[in-house]
């Protein structure tokens, strides 16, 4: 009798431990970080400045991981969840401090779904970049948006290795405008296999919210 009781105890305890472990794992990987709000610049208009870095450094939990960040005032914040106003024009600037990784699918080197179907690269209006020169993409599948991000050239002087990067260091500036719709949570992600050291470049930061994935929280 006693051994049956212990057996049941063991089974229940085992189930509880496994359930807790699964819960913690899912929570860690799926929980969205604290959002940062786009800055309202007028009625139905806002601006958001992001950054991409070869390594997040001490601003993130995995210092060596490639990451997106958001700039608030003069500071970098490590989050990839952004509050943006509904039914508005949102101007997004991405300051990319990372090098060229290259796209496997050249289709994603064409700008898609932005206002005018264009972006500006260091002030010049363009519709695509060379697939080999891509460092990251800012892709919002649900909105049909693809913005390829030009990488910093290998021989560029004064490169930033990890955040916080200063604007005086080598970077490429990408600017584009998107039009938001109704309220909701919309997933965005990078499609360049930029996760160095991971199988096919698509592991780790490429599948972890807060690094190469996040949400547009339309409010």
194 binds Cu ion (CB under 5 A): yes
For Cu ion, give the closer residue by CB, 78 or 136.
136
CB of 70 to Cu ion, least distance (A): 15
Q: In whole angstroms, what is the distance from residue 54 CA to residue 36 CA?
A: 21
Q: In whole angstroms, what is the distance from residue 127 CA to residue 122 CA?
A: 13
Q: In whole angstroms, what is the distance from residue 52 CA to residue 38 CA?
A: 17
Q: Where does residue 178 rank: exposed (0-12), middle (13-18), buried (19+ CB within 10 A)? A: buried
Applying CB under 5 A, the span of 15-23, 69-77, 163-171, 194-202 interacting with Cu ion comes to: 194-202
Applying CB under 5 A, the span of 32-40, 113-121, 167-175, 182-190 interacting with Cu ion comes to: 182-190
Q: In whole angstroms, what is the distance from residue 146 CA to residue 10 CA?
A: 51
Length of the chain: 219
190 binds Cu ion (CB under 5 A): yes
CB of 212 to Cu ion, least distance (A): 4
Phi, psi of 88 (to 5 degrees): -140, 165
CB of 116 to Cu ion, least distance (A): 24
- The residues near 148 (Cβ < 8 Å, ≥ 6 apart) are 103, 108, 109, 110, 111, 128, 129, 131, 134, 137
Q: Among 50, 90, 192, 216, which residue sits at the site for Cu ion (rule: CB under 5 A)?
A: 192
Binding footprint of Cu ion, residue count (CB under 5 A): 5
HSE, CB side, 13 Å, CA atoms: give it for residue 125. Answer: 6
CB of 86 to Cu ion, least distance (A): 27
CB of 11 to Cu ion, least distance (A): 44
136 binds Cu ion (CB under 5 A): yes
Q: Among 119, 133, 146, 212, which residue sits at the site for Cu ion (rule: CB under 5 A)?
A: 212
Residue nearest to Cu ion (CB): 190
Q: Interface residues with Cu ion (CB under 5 A)?
A: 136, 190, 192, 194, 212
């Amino acid at each position: 009798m006693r051994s049956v009781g212990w057996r049941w105890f063991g089974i229940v305890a085992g189930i509880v431990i496994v359930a807790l472990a699964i819960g913690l794992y899912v929570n860690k990987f799926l929980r969205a970080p604290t959002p940062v709000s786009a800055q309202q610049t007028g009625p139905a208009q806002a601006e958001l400045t992001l950054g991409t870095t070869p390594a997040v450094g001490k601003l993130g939990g995995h210092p060596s991981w490639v990451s997106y960040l958001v700039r608030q005032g003069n500071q970098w914040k490590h989050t990839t969840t952004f509050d943006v106003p509904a039914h508005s024009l949102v101007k997004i600037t991405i300051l990319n401090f990372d090098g060229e990784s290259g796209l496997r699918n050249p289709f994603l080197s064409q700008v898609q779904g932005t206002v005018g179907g264009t972006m500006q690269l260091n002030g010049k209006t363009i519709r695509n970049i060379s697939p080999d020169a891509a460092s990251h993409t800012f892709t919002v599948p649900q909105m049909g948006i693809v913005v390829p991000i030009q990488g910093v050239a290998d021989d560029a002087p004064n490169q930033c290795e990890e955040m916080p990067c200063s604007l005086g260091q080598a970077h490429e500036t990408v600017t584009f405008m998107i039009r938001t719709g109704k309220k909701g949570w919309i997933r965005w992600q990078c499609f360049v296999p930029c996760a160095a050291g991971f199988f096919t470049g698509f592991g780790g930061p490429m599948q972890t919210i807060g690094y190469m994935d996040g949400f547009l929280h339309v409010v």
